[in-house]
Amino acid sequence: MRARRSGLIMHISSSGAHNTIAGGAAYSSTKAAISMLSLGQRFELAPLNIEVVTIEPGYFRTSLLAQLGEEKARIVDYDASVNRELLKNANGNQSGDPEKGSEVLVKEVVGKWAKSGCKAGSLGTARIPLGSDAGFWIKQGLMETLKSVDEWHEVVSKTDI
């Protein structure tokens, strides 16, 4: 891509990069890391005309939630906070269709980039929520972050030299 001075990198993250649940910290933290890696690469690679975007899907019917029932070592201490049954029941009932999601990525995202003449910045955003529920989860996490910023602003802003 560097040699051609053109390319498109799509990192697959998750709407969970902005929000998490009990038992989901490892998943959400790795997805947040992917989103930040992608954002940094977006800035680094733009001068080389390489577009970088993070896809942040909501719940899609994949085998991810089914794996929750395959716990090797259950720690009973977490039963009060981790609602395993809720997640197991959600398996197979996710609203997103992986085939339709893939079609959107190819037709819409790659299509828009290609129509632009394969230019960096042509997608107009660093992140694309994918799925009807993705925006909800992302907004919920962002609202919690904004609430923290507002609540603590007066206290934490007293740190300047």
**Residue-wise DSSP of the chain:** -TTTT-EEEEEE--GGGS---TT-HHHHHHHHHHHHHHHHHHHHHGGGTEEEEEEEE--BSSSTGGGGGG-SS--GGGTTT--HHHHHHHTT--SB-HHHHHHHIIIIIIHHHHHTTS-TTTT--SEEEESTTHHHHHHHHHHHHHHHHHHHHHHHGGG--
Residue 11 lies in a domain: yes
Residue 99 lies in a domain: yes
Q: Domain containing 154: what range?
A: 7-159
Residue 135 lies in a domain: yes
CA–CA gap between residue 153 and residue 15 (Å, rounded)? 26
> Which of 27, 12, 15, 18 lies closest to 65, judged by CA?
27
What is the domain count for the chain? 1
Q: Report pLDDT digits (tens) over 53-69.
A: 999 999 899 877 777 65
CATH number for the domain harbouring residue 75? 3.40.50.720
Q: Report pLDDT digits (tens) over 66-104.
A: 776 566 677 888 888 877 777 778 888 888 899 999 999
Residue 1 lies in a domain: no
CA–CA gap between residue 154 and residue 151 (Å, rounded)? 8
Q: Report pLDDT digits (tens) over 93-144.
A: 888 899 999 999 999 999 999 998 898 888 989 999 999 999 999 999 999 9
Question: Tell me, what's the pLDDT at 68?
Answer: 62
Residue 136 lies in a domain: yes
Report residue 10 as tokens. Answer: 């799509």
